Structure 1
Amino acid sequence: MKLRSFMFLIMSTLLAFMICGCSSTPSGKANSEPDKENNKVIHIGYQKFGTLNILKADKSLDDTLKKKGFSIQWTEFPAGPQLLEALNVGSINFGHTGEAPPIFAQAAEAPFVYFANEPPNPNGEAIIVPENSSIESLKDLKGKKIGLNKGSNVHFLLVKALEEAGIQYHEIETAFLPPADARAAFEKGDIDAWVIWDPFLADAELTANARIIANAKELAANREFFLSSKSFADKNPDVLEIIYEEVKKTEKWVSENPREAAEFLAPQIGMDVETLERTLNRRSFGLEKVTEEVLNDQQKIADQFYDLKLIPKKINVKDASIK
């Protein structure tokens, strides 16, 4: 228990140096050292795909907040756990992740709050195998080596899928890999199965002929959360409302224009239009403020992770709600 907390502290400290000193922007230029919150610079973390990508690319949020005296510094992360580590050490103020990363972050006492969430999107993550694999169902995963990003949304999907198949967690071998490394391992045959989310899922289907053996339907909700550091949320509730309204406005346009949105995003994130269109067509839309029901669902995930010893202590998810 002490070892896990100590390792998280080391990782967080190293990440702070990396982001503050030389984190890369999509243009390849180094960001300057993050400014303090009181100079009206907002540090937003985003991942390879999501509504925040469009807001960043079309600068609509930048323009709206500029009128209020704020500027935005954007930082890209490979997945939710890395983004939450940055939020923990104060390198960013706001960002988005799936269900599982906040659980791990709260267990490590990261000072954040849940702000808003998208509706369940069970079709947006899945367990996949190579086209010619002998694995046909979840029951065939016993004894197999499975790749996933540790602490990400798909970690919970794997837990629930194994439970559904009657397989104990220790009866499979996990290979904790970020998406790019997992894709390489998947194609080389170094892992038997891969638990992954969109748009990496759609890309694997279309370009690697990956075969889905189970998605999250009836196993996991797969919600996307928007999170804020506690101090930023306490001091800037008006800014969070502006971000909320801009995200809602943008996702409404995306839901009504998936092909156009895919064409806009493709050059921004380096993925083909067909992959992004498939991702958007099976995505759920409908941003809302976090409710007690949603927090209760998060509590169930937290409790199961504790029972499996994936987190070092019990947590109360509602301690991370906006008061």
Structure 2
Amino acid sequence: MLATTVLSVVLVGCSTDEPPAPVLAADGSIDLSGVTLHVGDQVQSVQSVLKVSGQLDELPYKVEWASFTAGPPLLEALNAKAIDLGSVGDSPPVLAQAAGIEARIVSVEERDKANDFLLTRDGTGIRTAADLKGKSVAVAKGSSSHGLLIGLLQQAGLSQDDVTVRYLAPPDAQSAFAAGQVDAWAVWNPYYAVAIASAGAKVVADGTTLSTGYTYTVASTAALADPTTEAAIKDFLVRLVKARAWAAAHPDQWVPVYSQLTNLPASVATVTFDTSRGRAIPIDDRVIARQQELADRFAAVRLIPSAPKVRDFFDDRFNADVTAAQP
């Protein structure tokens, strides 16, 4: 009788602590028809490339999209379980991990060119990062461009106390920069291209050597713990790799549609595409080491209490699937 009681308790515990077993389709695959993936996006970059490339056709699950202006608020939504996954630059995961957000980096894309820039205007006297002393700089806190700014200040022998840093979301920073309310702006595309085209911006430096060049897809641990949602995430990541590869091979078809979908001028869409394209790579020791350097940089200027062990924030379960999808 006691053994039966103990067994019942164990079984009840398993049924409440573990996600339900996935439903299998007739061919033995996991049935995804009841899944809705909630995906965070920035400037429709992910949604549009999937749509134009045909990778949203005949999805075996539903997708609901949420739009964000930058990576940090996207990861905040992820932590609040408002979304299941989303793509961000290299710096947002550092602050997210330091804050204890329950998420993991599940795929990596390495860009071909720098996509973070320090901009200024004529008349500010800023020609190099060293000239930022005593000047004001706008940046989205915790963004990839924030990581660039920190690195540039360190290289120039300056601290954040030597400049006035104004933490502004890109739309607000764009207005402040155009109005001359800040001397410089650290930002990424498409905002960089808009500033060059419409505000007479000049490039002081870019992230060629200081930024990792990585774009990450980050998923919540809750979504990853559910076998059915995990299967949908794997399918989504493979489709995203294929979509980005298609766009890289067909820029003449992709850029005009991206311009139309985002209401960006064709010239801005072209520059944005040129600096954001890359290829899927596996999560490996090289990726982790570069991300650790970035975390150490944030800790050195006390923007986080201490550098987290970034290896713990990576999950390589989809490595084989993602890299196999890359042409």
What is the TM-score with the length of structure 1 in the denominator? 0.82
Whether the 8 Å contact between 1:122 and 1:215 is mirrored in structure 2 is no
Among 46, 49, 53, the residue aligned to 2:48 = 53
Taking the aligned partners of 2:266 and 2:134, their CA distance within structure 1 comes to 37
Structure-to-structure mapping, 1:217-236, within 5 angstroms = 217-235=208-226, 236=229
Residue aligning to 1:94: 85
Among 309, 313, 325, the residue aligned to 1:316 = 309
Structure-to-structure mapping, 1:15-26, within 5 angstroms = none
Taking the aligned partners of 2:216 and 2:138, their CA distance within structure 1 comes to 23
Offset at residue 254 of structure 1 (A): 1.3
Q: Deviations over 1:28-84 (max 9, x none)?
A: xxxxxxxxx9952110000015344322x449444343x3xx211100011000000
Helix, strand or coil at the partner of 1:287: strand
Q: Deviations over 1:84-123 (max 9, x none)?
A: 0000010000101001111111111111011111114552
Whether the 8 Å contact between 2:118 and 2:187 is mirrored in structure 1 is yes
Query: Cα distance 1:313–1:39, how it changes in 2: closer, same or farther (>3 A)?
Result: farther
**Residue 106 in structure 1 maps to residue 100 in structure 2:** no
What is the TM-score with the length of structure 2 in the denominator? 0.81
Offset at residue 230 of structure 1 (A): 1.0
Helix, strand or coil at the partner of 2:279: coil
Higher alpha-carbon deviation: 276-285 or 296-305: 276-285
**Residue 40 in structure 1 maps to residue 35 in structure 2:** yes
Residue aligning to 2:241: 248
Structure 1 unpaired stretches of 5+: 1-36
Residue aligning to 2:10: none
Among 203, 207, 211, the residue aligned to 1:212 = 203
Offset at residue 232 of structure 1 (A): 1.2
Helix, strand or coil at the partner of 1:63: coil
Residue aligning to 2:292: 299
Whether the 8 Å contact between 1:49 and 1:199 is mirrored in structure 2 is no
Whether the 8 Å contact between 2:103 and 2:218 is mirrored in structure 1 is yes
Partner AA of 2:175 in structure 1: A
Structure-to-structure mapping, 1:1-323, within 5 angstroms = 40-48=35-43, 50-55=45-50, 57-58=51-52, 60-65=54-59, 67=60, 70-235=61-226, 236-322=229-315
Alpha-carbon RMSD across the aligned residues, in angstroms, is 2.0
Query: Cα distance 1:61–1:258, how it changes in 2: closer, same or farther (>3 A)?
Result: closer
Q: Deviations over 1:137-186 (max 9, x none)?
A: 11111111000000100111001111111112221110000111001000
Query: Cα distance 1:121–1:168, how it changes in 2: closer, same or farther (>3 A)?
Result: farther
Which is greater in Rg?
A: 2
Structure 2 unpaired stretches of 5+: 1-31, 318-327
Taking the aligned partners of 1:238 and 1:200, their CA distance within structure 2 comes to 34
Residue aligning to 2:322: none
Helix, strand or coil at the partner of 2:114: helix
Taking the aligned partners of 2:82 and 2:129, their CA distance within structure 1 comes to 39
Taking the aligned partners of 2:166 and 2:232, their CA distance within structure 1 comes to 39
Q: Deviations over 1:252-275 (max 9, x none)?
A: 121122232121011211211111
Whether the 8 Å contact between 2:55 and 2:243 is mirrored in structure 1 is no
Partner AA of 1:202 in structure 2: A
Whether the 8 Å contact between 2:52 and 2:257 is mirrored in structure 1 is no
Whether the 8 Å contact between 2:291 and 2:310 is mirrored in structure 1 is yes
Query: Cα distance 1:315–1:64, how it changes in 2: closer, same or farther (>3 A)?
Result: farther
Taking the aligned partners of 1:84 and 1:98, their CA distance within structure 2 comes to 11
Helix, strand or coil at the partner of 1:118: strand
**Post-superposition, which runs of at least 4 consecutive aligned residues in structure 1 deviate over 6 A?**
none
Residue aligning to 1:10: none
Taking the aligned partners of 2:58 and 2:238, their CA distance within structure 1 comes to 11
Whether the 8 Å contact between 1:111 and 1:229 is mirrored in structure 2 is yes
Helix, strand or coil at the partner of 1:221: coil
Taking the aligned partners of 2:127 and 2:186, their CA distance within structure 1 comes to 15
Whether the 8 Å contact between 1:121 and 1:221 is mirrored in structure 2 is no
